[in-house]
Structures are given as C-alpha cells and as structure tokens.
Amino acid sequence: MEKSTLREFRSIASYLLPYRGRYILGFFFLVTVDVAQMLIPQCVRRAVDLMAGGGFAWKQVLFISLSMLGIAAVLSGGRFLWRYFIHGSSRRIEMEIRNRLFEHLLTLSYDFYQKNKIGDLMARSTNDINAIRMSIGMGLVALVDGTVMALSILVIMFVQDARTSLLAILPLPFITVLILFFGRAVGKKFRRVQETYSAMSDTIQETFAGIRVVKSFVKEWWFIKKFADTNDDYREANMALVRIFGVFFPLISFLSGITTLILFLAGGWRVVEGAMSPGVLVALFSYLQMLIWPLMGAGFVVNMIQRGAVSLGRINEIFNTQPSIRSPDTPASVFTNAPLEASPGEKVIRIRNLSFCYSSGGSSGREALSSLNLEIRRGSIVGILGKTGSGKSTLLKALVRLIDPPPASVFVEGVDVRSWELSRLRGHFGMTLQDSYLFSDSIANNILYGAEDALPEPLIPGLLEDISRAAALDKDLESFGRGWETLVGERGLTLSGGQKQRVAIGRALIRNPEILILDDAFSAVDAETERRILNGLLESRKGKTTILVSHRVSTLCHADTVLVLEDGKLSEEGTPEELLERGGFYARTAALQRLTGGGER
C-alpha cells in the first residue's frame, strides 16, 4: 500500500477509537467463524478415511455429522454477530463523518462556495463517504478474514503434507505481485471515477435549479446533450476500472486453478503410493478452495482501501479548508456580555477609507470600493443608489463580513467589525438579498427561519399575522390553497417574483433587527404594494436603522439620507430633495424614471 494511502487513513483513527470495543468483538466473531470453517475439512477427512477403510461404525458417522451441524450453527451465529458489530460501527462512523462534513461546510466562508461547485460537494457528501464506509467495514473484514484464513490454511496444509502443499502454492508469489500492481492502478482510476461523478452531479444540480431558464429558452436539448456528455465520461471512467477488474479476477482464478491442478497431480500420486490417505487429499482440496477466497479477497481489500483512501483524501481537502473569515480569538467583550444600549442619533455605522478589490486567479482586479467614507446614524432611513458594479453589494457584504474589509475601516456600534463575534455581528442585522432565496418548505417556515431563537408555539400565529401585514402578504395568503402551510417549492418556484421578495422581507422583519438592510427588495413589487410596505416600516421601525438599496427613486424618496455610489466612491450625499436640486446622478435617474412605470413581475 502506498504511503499516501496510509497517511489518509491516519485521519480516520479518531472515528474508529470510540468503536474499538465493537470492532474487537466483531473481529473476535469473525475469527471464530474462520476457525469453524477450517474444522469442516477435518470432519470430511475423518469421514472419508473411515469409509475408505471399510470398517466403520454408524455411531462414528453420526458423531461427525452432529459435529458438522454444530459447526454450521456456530458459523451462522458468528456471521450475524460480526456483521452486527463491524458493519453497524461503519454505518455509525459514516453518519458521524457526514454530520461533521455538513457542519464544517456551514462554517466555511462565502468565497469557498464561489470556488467550489455544489454538485461536487454533494458527490463528496454521498459517494465519497459511502466509499469510506466500505473501506472501514467490508475492507477491514476482508483484510482480517483473508489474513487469518490464508495463514491458518497454509499452516494446516503443511502440517497435513508439507511436500504436496509446497508444490501446490508455487503460483502464489505471482498473485502477490499482481495484487501490488493492481492496487496502484485502482487508486488512479477510482479518483477519475469520483471526479466525473462530481461533474455529472453538478450538471444535474445546475439544470434543475435553473429549470425556469431552461424551459423559457427552450434549451432542453442542450442540457440533455450536456448531461449525456458528462454521463458518458462517467461511464468511460467506470469502464476503465471495470477493465482492470476484468483482467485481474480471471487471472487470479486461472492461477488458483493451476494450484488445484498441481495438487491433483502431486496429491493423487502420493495417494497411489500410499504416502497420503484419501481423506487428507480431500481435506487439502477443501483447504485449497478455501484459500482462493483470501487470494481474491486480497484484491478486494486493495480495491476497498484504495477507493476509501481516494475518497478520504477528497473529504480531507474540505476538512483542511479553514474559513477565511472567522471570529477573533477574543471578541470585544461589550458584545458578548450584555445587550447593546441604543442611543438615538448616534453613529451606528462608520466607514473610514474603505478600499476593497476582489482577487481573481491569485491576482487583484479593479477596486470595487475605493477610499470610501460615510456615516449612518441610529434610527435613520438611509437609501443607497448606484449603477450596476458601483460597489453597493460589496459595501453591504463588508458590513456583515461576508467579505473581510481591511482592519479599522468598517465600524458597527463604534467597534471594528473584525472585533465582533461573527454570529452576534450578523444577528445584529436583518437582510434581504437581491436574490430572494426561499427554501422548499411552507411559507410560514420560510419566514420563521429568520427568527433568532425558537418561538413559543402560541405566539406564532399572531406574529405571522403582523408580519403578513407588514410585508403586504395578507391578501396573497387568501389565494394560497393552504394559507401559511402552502409549500413554495424549491427556491420558491411556485411563487411570483414579488411574492418571493415579500416572503424574504417578512423573514428579515421577524427578527426585528437593530439594522435592517433591504437590497433591491422591491424590484418585483408594484408601486402601490411598495408604498404600503414602506409606510409600515417607517411606523414600526422608529428608533432603528434601515438601509434601502434600490435602483428606484420612488423607493429612495422615503429615506432621510441618500448615498450615491459611483465606481466604488461616494459621489453624492443628502436628502432626496437636496439631491434633486443638485442635478447629479440621482436627479437624472429620477427624471428618467418619471417616464416609466413599475409593476409586479
């Protein structure tokens, strides 16, 4: 086995240790089964020799028969018990690895998911973990079983007749060399299988996630072809592995057949000479047939261990990835001990010389934000306007550390965001993003996901009614077949764009955050519904801060202050009335939008 394989398996020791008692019991019953199996040829030897001698009593035959029946009972019980302990433990370890992997994936930062495809992560969470389970379950069984059986059978055969046994096992060194060569080939081929499986999974995931686009552009044929190509790659990768097995196992069988032929010739000659009893020859034939399984099992072990090592390496790649954004070792104590005491009018957000650029392929690109300076006071409603690519979304991500701003550049509640404990910082905000993502669940649960803690059951109906009015969902609920329990489908496919946005707004409102961020949250909502929602927000969020990011001036006219971003810089700042008088970008945008109307889409 290669060193890299052994290194990968060191990482699984922490999972095996808690189950060492179960594994020891499993291996005990496995060895018990092996010993019982090796007693059967001895019973057959005694029976054949008795019958060949002619002078035997039926009591002796009955005793041998009952002995074999008892051995069969031990075999049945032992096989059940080793499966229960070993396979049961491997299943539990599989569950633990999958749980740990899911938990670890949730700790990783936003940039990790920009670099890794969801289909690949799903393949690692299913196919790869299954391969690990097989290696620490059936792979270990084959290793222990094959080792015990092979050594025991060889010892018994040499004790029975050393000369004949030595001749019969002459092909075994060739089988050992073949197994070593086979192991190296399997590892490379299996990695290719897993990679193509990941690509196929990613194609499936992307196709069904974007099914609306696929159907609206009548591109089913293109995605069918794309899937067929990835499916064909997966088939070819598997066939390359099958071809190796196709050569290996028949060759093992051929070499095993040669050992049988040698035993037949050499053993038969010794029986004719009277140097060996017929019973011993029959027993040696039985042992030789039993020896074929350890030889075949050696290939099985190599296959399972190599597959497990490759999959474990792919899983460890994720475990070894640390979040690029994490809480400081010692978060600012004011945020971990007690709730914040809000003072109306104080500066809740301060940006100082904030510059940020996204890296691409290891090199820095154009600055998304450049020497940005601004302040937001508590309890104010702040609007943000700017062209696509002006830095609006980057600014919002910096506030909640979805990206990491430079030190001492972004302050929330007077403290650098890099000094906050992450969950507390993000819990301080409520956000609706441009892409109103909904989970495949009921409307009620999609809104309740936003609550910081589990809510008492009696309070939920009243709270949902308040949220439905605030998010202008009350009229829509009447048209839904099951009201709050209506399932929205994956990513909210069964709802209109405006309904999805309003459910997302409700999800942000239910946590009653200190700072509410609505990022283009009304783009699919008609003007009347938008006005109704904003009027409710103005009334319910007095004393708390709201940030409205929008391309609509009709949305921003409700703001106390409007910030205009251009090329990552603050180009205008003032009340909506002041900006209209200045004739800048805000005024030009307002003039253009007076010529058009909006509607819910």
Which comes out higher in pLDDT, residue 34 or 480? 34
Confidence at 76, pLDDT banded by 50, 70, 90: very high
Is the pLDDT at 28 greater than 90? The verdict is yes
DSSP-assigned states of every residue in 24-87: HHHHHHHHHHHHHHHHHHHHHHHHHHHHHHS---HHHHHHHHHHHHHHHHHHHHHHHHHIIIII
With the C-alpha atoms ordered 423, 424, 429, 430, is the resulting torsion angle positive or negative?
A: positive
Please write the tens of the pLDDT for every residue from 307-321. Answer: 788 888 889 889 998
The tokens for 148 are 């015990």
Q: What predicted TM-score, i.e. pTM, was given to this entire model?
A: 0.75
With the C-alpha atoms ordered 90, 92, 93, 95, is the resulting torsion angle positive or negative?
A: positive
Domain with CATH 1.20.1560.10 in the chain: 3-319
Section 28-36 average pLDDT: 93
Is the pLDDT at 334 greater than 70? The verdict is no
CA 377 to mean position of chain CA atoms: 42
Please write the tens of the pLDDT for every residue from 278-287. Answer: 888 888 888 8
DSSP-assigned states of every residue in 170-219: TTHHHHHHHHHHHHHHHHHHHHHHHHHHHHHHHHHHHHHHTHHHHHHTT-
Backbone angles phi, psi at 557, to 5 degrees: -70, -15
CATH superfamily name and code, 345-428+548-596: P-loop containing nucleotide triphosphate hydrolases (3.40.50.300)
Which comes out higher in pLDDT, residue 73 or 187? 73
The tokens for 355 are 């510059």
Please write the tens of the pLDDT for every residue from 410-440. Answer: 999 889 999 998 888 888 898 888 777 888 7
Lookup result for tokens 């050594």: 151
Residue 463, pLDDT score: 81
Q: Are 344 and 543 in contact (CB under 8 A)?
A: yes
- Residue whose C-alpha is closest to residue 464's, from 451, 452, 453: 451
Residue 338, pLDDT score: 41
Lookup result for tokens 């100082």: 352
End-to-end C-alpha distance for the chain, whole angstroms: 61
Confidence at 183, pLDDT banded by 50, 70, 90: low
Residue 562, pLDDT score: 94
Domain with CATH 3.40.50.300 in the chain: 345-428+548-596
Burial of 405 (0-12, 13-18, 19+ CB in 10 A): buried
Lowest mean pLDDT across 87-96, 125-134, 320-329, 492-501: 492-501
Please write the tens of the pLDDT for every residue from 200-223. Answer: 888 887 787 777 677 777 778 888
Walk across the sheet containing 561-566 and list its strands: 429-432, 515-519, 545-549, 381-386, 561-566, 569-574
Torsion of CA 39, 135, 199, 189, to 10 degrees: -70
Is the pLDDT at 87 greater than 90? The verdict is yes
Name the CATH code of domain 3-319 (choices 3.20.20.100, 3.40.50.2020, 3.50.50.60, 1.20.1560.10).
Answer: 1.20.1560.10
Q: Are 425 and 340 in contact (CB under 8 A)?
A: no
The set of residues, in sequence order, having a beta carbon less than 8 Å from that of 100 and lying 6+ positions away, is 319
